[in-house]
């Protein structure tokens, strides 16, 4: 009986893709409506400040999602909005004597640079709210015509939540306990209900001064925050989306209000699935060991934390669980992606494998696909990768000559890293390696100074295991790769 070759291994079956739906509070089978293209709307940043690492935790789970969609054989049509007009933007522009466009243009550029640093794939569209004012006005007109919106005495237009029976179905809040959301005008004397939210805000002097006012049937004004997303989503993706994503903090009021105004206008379900990522937490003073008070991507750059390493940090925790960002977690992730990079280099330079290598690859692919299909279980997907690396390294140590097995391992590793994207760039790898070696050499020097020669030898062995040779000279210790 001959050993199995990659061509004889069973084909990897596509597992059923399942996703947690905030609307139903359950994990459900997910397929695009037409069986081919996932129409996906993801709430993007409000561009008055660079997006912080918590924002990017959400954007990274969405990046994982779109890559998992491709792995299923579907295409994706992703829209991520850029909110470039709202109360915070107008206030900041006023303080700096700028128009909202002059304020937001550089922040949009920073967002895209940060996104690329973290290897977040391009969405198909990045609409800016100010580019869709006519669509927003048309949506408000439909809502007024349908009797679920009204113009109040202050000349602003509000959505009447009491006239929309489904209000609260996403957040499951008792309407009697609902408090008016952020960015919503609070003039209770001009609204039917204190909880009614603004669709179109009558222009104030600061709006006019910063270029944040437009003509409308209700006078000069600007869109409400919630209105922007509904208008852009339906204009670019249709009246019913396959999935709408964002951070858990957007469930109420933002996404609840999006549902109300979208379904209040069309009478159709706005999104079949709602998918939300949990918060990013930090350890406060403990972060000072490595990052101090860094909270954005530029801070990661300054401290030498690569995009690959931050991806590893984020994917180490399921997207629906809170993630604690600590110095220890960042250090562990820098080490982990270094290991991935070393394996990638070894796999690329290998000349043959073994039948067991092909078997390890097949099992890794099966487990990886199953993990992603199980509500985007990134920790389990990464576990499949690192088990594969361990098994594959052991097989490569045997110096087999099975070219087909090696090709199978390369194919599977390409599939996995095509989703997780953890292989550092060569420059990243070199910089990380040098920093790590320097740290270990300092520890070895300290051990020798303390006459802990066993500890110093252990560090030398640790370096050798990574392919680093040391040479002690009168001028100090030098190192090189084997």
Could you tell me the residue ranges of all domains in the chain? 31-277, 305-313+322-424, 434-481
| CB-based contact 151:192 (threshold 8 Å) | no
Residue 229, annotated as binding a ligand: yes
Residue 254, annotated as binding a ligand: yes
| CATH class of the domain defined by 31-277 | alpha beta
Other C-beta atoms closer than 10 Å to the C-beta of 349 total 8
Could you write out the DSSP letters of every residue in 234-262? HHHH-SSEEEEEEEGGGIIIIIHHHHHHH
Q: Where are the alpha helices (DSSP H) in 133-200?
A: 133-145
Residues in the chain with pLDDT values less than 50: 1-10, 179-189, 284-292
Kindly report the backbone phi and psi dihedral angles of residue 472, in degrees, each rounded to the nearest multiple of 5, phi listed first.
-85, 125
pTM of the model: 0.84
| pLDDT recorded at residue 292 | 47
What Rg do the C-alpha atoms of the chain give, in angstroms?
A: 27
In three-state secondary structure terms, 138 is helix
| pLDDT recorded at residue 176 | 55
Rounded-to-5 percentages of helix, strand, coil across the chain: 50, 15, 35
The C-alpha atoms of residue 281 and residue 382 are separated, in whole angstroms, by 21
| pLDDT recorded at residue 446 | 84
Q: Residue written as tokens 């004597």?
A: 97
Angle ∠(328,332,337) on CA atoms, nearest 5: 150
| pLDDT recorded at residue 372 | 98
- Tens of pLDDT, residues 227-251: 999 999 999 999 999 999 999 999 9
| pLDDT recorded at residue 181 | 42
| pLDDT recorded at residue 465 | 66
Residues listed for the chain:
482
| pLDDT recorded at residue 206 | 97
Residue 43, annotated as binding a ligand: yes
| pLDDT recorded at residue 470 | 83
Residue 62, annotated as binding a ligand: no
- Tens of pLDDT, residues 86-140: 999 999 999 999 999 999 999 999 999 999 999 999 999 999 999 999 999 999 9
């Amino acid at each position: 009986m001959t050993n199995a070759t990659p061509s004889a291994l069973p084909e990897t079956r596509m597992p059923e893709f399942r996703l947690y739906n905030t609307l139903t509070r359950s994990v459900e089978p997910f397929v695009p409506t037409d069986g081919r293209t996932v129409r996906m709307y993801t709430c993007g940043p409000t561009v008055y400040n660079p997006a912080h690492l918590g924002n990017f935790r959400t954007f990274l789970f969405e990046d994982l999602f779109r890559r998992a969609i491709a792995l299923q054989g579907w295409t994706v049509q992703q829209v991520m909005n850029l909110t470039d007009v709202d109360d915070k933007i107008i206030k900041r522009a006023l303080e700096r004597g700028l128009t909202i466009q002059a304020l937001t243009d550089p922040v949009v550029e920073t967002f895209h640079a940060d996104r690329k640093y973290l290897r977040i794939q391009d969405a198909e569209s990045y609409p800016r709210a100010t580019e869709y004012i006519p669509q927003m006005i048309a949506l408000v007109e439909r809502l007024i015509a349908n009797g679920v919106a009204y113009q109040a005495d202050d000349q602003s237009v509000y959505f009447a939540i009491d006239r929309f029976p489904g209000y609260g179905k996403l957040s499951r809040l008792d309407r009697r306990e609902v408090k008016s959301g952020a960015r919503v005008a609070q003039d209770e004397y001009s609204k039917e209900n204190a909880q009614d939210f603004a669709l179109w805000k009558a222009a104030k002097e600061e709006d006019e001064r910063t270029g944040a006012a437009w003509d409308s049937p209700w006078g000069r004004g600007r869109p409400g925050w919630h209105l922007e997303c509904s208008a852009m989503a339906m204009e670019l993706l249709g009246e019913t989306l396959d999935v709408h994503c964002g951070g858990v903090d957007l469930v109420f009021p933002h996404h609840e209000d999006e549902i109300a105004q979208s379904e209040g206008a069309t009478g159709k379900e706005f999104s079949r699935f709602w998918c939300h990522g949990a918060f990013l937490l930090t350890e406060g003073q403990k972060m000072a060991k490595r990052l101090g008070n860094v909270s954005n991507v530029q801070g990661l750059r300054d401290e030498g934390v690569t995009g690959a390493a931050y991806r590893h940090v984020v994917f180490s925790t399921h997207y629906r669980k809170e993630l604690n960002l600590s110095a220890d977690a960042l250090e562990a992730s820098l080490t982990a992606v270094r290991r991935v990079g070393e394996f990638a280099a070894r796999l690329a330079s290998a000349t043959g494998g073994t039948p067991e290598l092909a078997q390890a690859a097949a099992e890794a692919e099966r487990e990886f696909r199953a993990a992603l299909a199980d509500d985007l279980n990134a920790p389990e997907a990464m576990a499949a990768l690192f088990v594969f690396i361990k098994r594959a390294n052991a097989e490569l140590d045997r110096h087999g000559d099975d070219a087909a097995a090696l090709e199978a391992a390369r194919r599977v590793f390409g599939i996995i890293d095509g989703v997780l994207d953890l292989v550092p760039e060569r420059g990243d790898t070199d910089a990380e390696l040098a920093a790590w070696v320097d740290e270990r050499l300092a520890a070895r020097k300290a051990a020798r100074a303390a006459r802990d020669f066993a500890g110093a030898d252990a560090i030398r062995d640790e370096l050798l295991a990574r392919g680093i040779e040391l040479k002690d000279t009168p001028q100090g210790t030098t190192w090189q790769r084997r």
